[in-house]
Amino acid sequence: MSLSQLNPKELSIYLINRYAHTWPIAMSLVASGRVRTELMVTHRFALDQTADALMAARAHRDAMKAVIRPQDLAGADAPG
């Protein structure tokens, strides 16, 4: 929704940072090996497939995390 639509309708948007103070714990878990991040990436895309990556959650029900690899080109065999 654009800002021009919010003003006449007197709508308010409140943003919440729900990740406050979680990075040190998350990084510790990843560093210790207790969280296996390689299992979280379900889809990988080349830079020229960015639009597909942004739509991955809608197009693929099993999509958890899509990664865009700028160094890769579509059609090139790249390690995951």
pLDDT given for residue 38 in this prediction: 83
Tally of structural domains, the chain:
1
* Domain-embedded: residue 75: no
* Domain-embedded: residue 74: no
Q: What's the sign of the alpha-carbon dihedral 67, 72, 75, 80?
A: negative
Q: Which helix (H) or strand (E) holds 53?
A: helix 50-54
Average pLDDT along the chain, 80 residues, taken 10 residues at a time: 63 69 89 89 90 87 87 59
* Domain-embedded: residue 76: no
> How many residues in total does the chain contain?
80
pLDDT given for residue 65 in this prediction: 87
Residues spanned by the domain of 31:
3-69
* Domain-embedded: residue 78: no
pLDDT given for residue 59 in this prediction: 86
* Domain-embedded: residue 47: yes
* Domain-embedded: residue 79: no
* Domain-embedded: residue 45: yes
CA 56, distance to chain mean position in Å, is 10
Query: What's the pTM?
Result: 0.50
